[in-house]
Structure 1
Amino acid sequence: MTAINAYAAFDAKAPLGPFTLERREVGENDVQIEILYCGVCHSDLHQVRNEWGGAMYPLVPGHEIVGRVTKVGNQVSKFKEGDLAGVGCFVDSCRHCPSCQEGLEQYCEEGMVGTYNSKQRNGRPEPTYGGYSSQIVVDAAYTLKVPENLELSRVAPLLCAGITTYSPLRQWKVGAGHRVGIVGLGGLGHMAVKLAASMGADVTVLSTSPEKEKDARELGAHHFAITKDKDVLKGLSRTFDFIIDTVSAPHDLNAYLGMLKRDGTMILLGAPPEPSPVAGFSLINGRRRLAGSLIGGIAETQDMLDYCAEHNIMSDVEVIPVDYINEAYERMLKGDVKYRFVIDMASLK
């Protein structure tokens, strides 16, 4: 076992602070990664404050991890020391259920093992600890190869915000000739705009904040609409082939469903804390579909990283030292970040 430095939450109300944890020794199928950057996802905040329940303290968040490989197991051929590597939202799964066999480990029918705050499958009693730390040891099968041509701090959020938006765009084969609405322009929304536009879709950002129009267009959106305006909503009736909904706050799904063309699909990526009512006729009138999507499997996440490298797509980030994390959480609650905080893990040393 190796003792390493980390930042952790010790209960639901206390600020995060320094913590020492132990990582397992590198097994024959493992890679050891020196963490260089770790993105800050809104789900980190939810779990730290136990808003979803099941928090296991001390809790070390972080599932948008990039760094350098410092050691590899003797059965690993995919990586060598010095390679760039990434770790996303999960580090293990059952490997034998239909979803795992199809490369859809995120839907593992026995439950994927989250990168943090998750029970391990190897029998170890402690929970998984995430990327707010100096080092991590991960099975090579659940580790991503990070392209060398991208700015590393801006790659980290791709491992959650990037794949969360890339996966449904690929699943529904979004491309040229499609009109796509993006609800919300935050960490997920800004990636959805970049990716959908790069795939050739005609992109409209649907927002309640007029001041976001300039940013939306700079990110690649072709149109911008204020959804507080009822006349605007009426004018968008039956406009879109797809709507990507990235908002986690309560909002009226029926208003957006009415913007879909016949046979259009609205895909939920955000998860409001309370159930959202859906009127039957919002779907029946137009044979519309309401769907959901969760991150991506390992193969698809690698495809996403390679696609972003080819098209020079990265997240827009604000890099922070680790001891700023509590202030960053408060700013994140206010939407005061463009568009993802990323921790420079050198600051932990």
Structure 2
Amino acid sequence: MATQPEFEHPKKAFGWAARDPSGVLSTFNFSRRETGEKDVAFKVLYCGICHTDLHMAKNGWGTSTYPLVPGHEIVGVVTLDGIIDTISADHSLLPLIDLLKSHGKLVLVGAPEKPLELPAWPLLVGRKMVAGSGMGGMKETQEMIDFAAKHNVQPDIEVIPMDYVNTAMERVHKSDVKYRFVIDIRNTLKTSP
């Protein structure tokens, strides 16, 4: 007898899934394969809801496969490698991109006079990212976070519990949300009985 896909792998997992194009989400126990040396494992603490999730849950693009656990805007605890490129002269990005692990990030802080060539294929197959920043590194980032905390500068979000997800999805569908919905995964996702 064949094993159901949600139970064929050794690592137990839990989430909320749509089972059909109605898009209604409900608790879902499933399994994942073991993390390999080129994989990144992370613990999701919060998850945003957007129209992409709505399209995928309701098969709006005709590409959804069920059961489907939506959610790609996540905040969590995560093992990513990165490279900070400080070169302000013309240079090739390909050797740097090739050094990144899967999901790694190349951050450009140098400002060459001429545009740099950015090869797409190595980014796509390795799920790698290239970003830029005109500010400094960790020290300046921490200073910005400290400033925001000191002056009570906060993001405009609506934090919701996991069991509110279907209502939130309907509100996104109706454009009845002023800011971004963010699911409090850490405090409200309960494993199913």
TM range (shorter): 0.5 to 0.7
Number of equivalenced pairs: 137
Partner of 2:189: 348
With the length of structure 2 as denominator, give the TM-score of the two structures: 0.58
Q: Does 1:29 align with 2:49?
A: no
Q: TM-score, normalised by structure 1?
A: 0.34
Q: CA deviation at 1:29?
A: 2.5
Q: Residue 75 of structure 2: SS of its match in structure 1?
A: strand
Give the alignment of 1:251-266 within 5 angstroms: none
Match of 2:161 among 303, 311, 321: 321
Secondary structure of the 1:44 match is helix
Answering whether residue 18 of structure 2 is matched by residue 9 of structure 1, we say yes
Cα separation, 1, equivalents of 2:42 and 2:49? 18
CA contact (8 A) 2:40 2:103 kept: no
1:299 to 105, 130, 133: 130
Distance, in Å, in 1 between the alignment partners of 2:96 and 2:41 is 23
Residue 333 of structure 1: how far off its partner (Å): 2.2
Q: Conserved in 2, the CA contact under 8 Å of 1:315 and 1:340?
A: no
- Tell me which of the two structures has the higher relative contact order, counting C-alpha pairs closer than 8 angstroms and 6 or more residues apart: 2
Q: Distance in 2 between matches of 1:334 and 1:37?
A: 23
**Does 1:58 find its partner at 2:19?**
no
CA distance in 1, matches of 2:163, 2:96: 37
- Please say if residues 44 and 62 of structure 1, whose CA atoms lie closer than 8 Å, have aligned partners that are also in contact: yes
Counterpart amino acid of residue 11 in structure 2 = T
Q: CA RMSD in A?
A: 3.7
Pairs within 5 Å for 1:44-83: 44-69=53-78, 72=79, 78=81
1:237-252 equivalences in 2 (<5 Å):
none
Return the letter of the residue paired with 1:348: L
Aligned residues of 1:103 and 1:298 also touching (Cα < 8 A): no
Unaligned runs of 5+ in 1: 80-99, 105-138, 146-296
Q: Which runs of 4+ in 1 moved over 4 A?
A: 100-104, 308-315
Tell me if the contact between 1:103 and 1:299 (Cα under 8 Å) persists in the aligned partners: no
1:1-349 pair list within 5 angstroms? 1-69=10-78, 72=79, 78=81, 141-142=102-103, 298-300=129-131, 303=133, 309=141, 315-346=155-186, 347-349=188-190
Q: Any gaps of 5 or more consecutive residues in structure 2?
A: 1-9, 83-92, 107-127, 149-153
* Residues in 2 aligned to 1:303 and 1:61: alpha-carbon distance in whole angstroms: 30
